[in-house]
């Protein structure tokens, strides 16, 4: 009741007009607040049932997480966590395979992909390296599954670099030609010998005015693909310069080189074989592996990129094993300094010589 009266008095004071000087100072209007009604209502109190429901939901959520991950032992990370168990520091286990959605079936590589022609291939073997196979079976590939291997595709204008990449990554073929401006890239995920692996495929512009821009993206490439048109011999000759520009931005011997002839569907069998003879000769000079593909029909496209991924993956695993072995070898390495006692005659002669000096 007291609060209601105070509210009413405040409203009356605010409703009254201010007093003015002069002849209008006595004119005031008394507002009527008979119809005003003030009710003080307490703030709503949360329902006990709502609090219990929220608490129950939290308890259920925590129970689901514990059931999914399993109880964690003292001093040991829960399964699926990024912390490595005690005694196995520095190892990345098979939990890497659960990162991200599963790859498609055509991106799963269980055996070493075969070459296109033995006359121009980087490796004639049919199986992964022995150390790589053992490491993959033990799921001890380190951080290889978390890396991106850079693949750079270079070549003249109109040879079909973008169409080749789109056929593999998106399984489409666009008849309407659109020149690449600058650079573009796609990321493709694989599963090689049970280990996740990804390729970052860079599509560079073939126009001369974009060459200075595209060359900046050649650095750090693990694979260089030089593409040419099987129906245009001049584009084959230009692959020398394209490869030279790409190798200039990378360390010698650090890249796999592929020579790829596109638009195979436009040539007959005899004409294709004749063009491939010259391409194989040039590939051997460039120390590259040769492939003939067709982005329009998809011929050899998946097999080619599977070969690229397998070679890059094997090299990454071997480099990681070498790095870890060299790191272990450096621990405790160094010259051993031995402190030996001097002969007795030396010990006796030393003080006598010092006394003689005095």
Question: Per-residue pLDDT for 241 more than 50?
Answer: yes
**What is the model's pLDDT at position 281?**
97
> DSSP string spanning 233-265?
HHHHHHHHHHHHHHHHTS-TT-SEEEEEEE-GG
Helix (H, G, I), strand (E, B) or coil at 61: helix
Q: For the residues 253-264, what does the mean pLDDT come to?
A: 96
Summarize pLDDT for 8-34 with one digit per residue, the tens.
665 565 555 544 444 434 444 444 444
Beta bridge partner(s), residue 183: 204
Enumerate domains of the chain plus CATH numbers.
Answer: 110-325 (3.40.50.300)
Element (H, E) at 47: none
What is the reported pLDDT for 21? 44
Instruction: Give the pLDDT of residue 101.
Output: 74
Bridge partners for 188 per DSSP: 199
pLDDT at 48 over 50: no
Q: In this prediction, what percent of the chain has a pLDDT beyond 90?
A: 51
Alpha carbons 309 and 197: distance in angstroms, whole number: 8
pLDDT at 186: 95
220 pLDDT band, cuts 50/70/90, is: very high
Q: Are 211 and 242 in contact (CB under 8 A)?
A: no
In this predicted structure, what is the pLDDT of residue 82? 37
Dist CA 199 CA 249 (whole Å): 19
What is the Cα–Cα distance from 293 to 23, expressed in whole angstroms? 103
């Amino acid at each position: 009741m007291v609060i209601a009266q105070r509210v009413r008095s405040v409203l009356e004071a605010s409703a009254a007009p201010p007093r003015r000087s002069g002849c209008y100072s006595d004119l005031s209007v008394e507002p009527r607040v008979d119809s005003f009604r003030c009710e003080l209502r307490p703030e709503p109190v949360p329902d006990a049932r709502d609090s219990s429901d929220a608490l129950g939901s939290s308890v259920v959520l925590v129970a689901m997480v514990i059931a999914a991950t399993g109880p964690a032992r003292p001093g040991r990370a829960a399964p699926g966590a990024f912390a490595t168990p005690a005694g196995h520091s520095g190892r990345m286990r098979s939990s890497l395979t659960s990162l991200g959605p599963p790859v498609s079936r055509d991106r799963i590589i269980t055996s070493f992909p075969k070459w296109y022609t033995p006359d121009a291939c980087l490796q004639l073997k049919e199986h992964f390296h022995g150390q790589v196979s053992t490491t993959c079976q033990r799921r001890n590939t380190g951080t290889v599954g978390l890396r991106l291997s850079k693949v750079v595709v270079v070549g003249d204008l109109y040879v079909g670099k973008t169409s080749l990449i789109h056929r593999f990554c998106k399984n489409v073929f666009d008849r309407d030609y659109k020149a690449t401006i600058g650079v573009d890239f796609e990321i493709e995920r694989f599963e090689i010998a049970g280990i996740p692996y990804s390729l970052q495929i860079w599509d560079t512009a073939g126009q001369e005015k974009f060459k200075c821009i595209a060359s900046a993206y050649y650095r750090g490439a693990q694979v260089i693909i030089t593409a040419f048109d099987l129906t245009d011999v001049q584009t084959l000759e230009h692959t020398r310069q394209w490869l030279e520009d790409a190798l200039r931005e990378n360390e010698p011997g650090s890249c796999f080189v592929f020579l790829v002839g596109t638009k195979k569907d436009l040539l007959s069998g005899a004409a294709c074989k004749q063009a491939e003879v010259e391409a194989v000769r040039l590939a051997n000079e460039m120390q590259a592996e040769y492939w003939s593909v067709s982005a329009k029909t998809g011929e050899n496209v998946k097999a080619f990129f599977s070969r690229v991924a397998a070679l890059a993956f094997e090299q990454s695993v071997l480099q990681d094993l070498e790095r870890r072995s060299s790191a272990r070898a450096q621990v405790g390495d160094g010259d051993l300094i031995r402190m030996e006692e001097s002969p007795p005659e030396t010990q006796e002669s030393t003080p006598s010589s010092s006394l003689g000096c005095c």
